[in-house]
Amino acid sequence: MADTLHLTLPDLAATEALAARAAALARPGDALLLEGPLGAGKSAFCRAFLRAAAGNPGLEVPSPSFTLVQGYELPQGPAAHYDLYRLSGPDELEELGWEEAREGIVLVEWPDRLGWLAPQDALRITLRPDAAGEARQASLSGWADRLPALAGL
């Protein structure tokens, strides 16, 4: 198991900055798996990632809560943002184009629903809200060669 990076994200801007660093490092075939409770900032991270990767801060990034997946064409290739909260398991992913999406960049909220389909080489991001305020604790693992850059080091 690769090292784990622990960060305190004091506000939304810090979460967005982390997402922008991840977007700069992401390449086709990468998966980012976002874990954490409701309201932890998973969707905010994904929105900031996609805007940064597209080079368009005004890009409309709707939550895929109801559509389950939203696709994007980015300069580095296709990307797919999955919200698997309403799925019961990996058997339901085939009809959502999972295999095709893996050729590009995938961002997955609620990745526990992936089961055996979870990519072993993924960047795993766990977000936890602090008890007070808008701060979040982030734990990142995977992408061992890119973790220092994610820390902003």
Q: Which residues contact 25 (CB under 8 A, 6 or more apart)?
A: 143, 146, 149, 150
**pLDDT in the model for residue 65:** 77
Q: Domain containing 23 — which CATH number? A: 3.40.50.300
pLDDT by residue (tens digit) across 40-82? Answer: 899 999 999 999 999 999 888 888 777 889 999 999 999 999 9
pLDDT by residue (tens digit) across 87-113? Answer: 887 888 878 889 999 999 999 999 999
d(CA 142, CA 30): 11
**pLDDT in the model for residue 93:** 83
The neighbouring-strand residues paired with 31 are 106
Q: How many domains in the chain?
A: 1
Mean pLDDT for all residues in the chain: 90
Q: Which structural domain, as residue segments, surrounds residue 71? A: 4-150
**pLDDT in the model for residue 1:** 39
Specify the pTM: 0.92
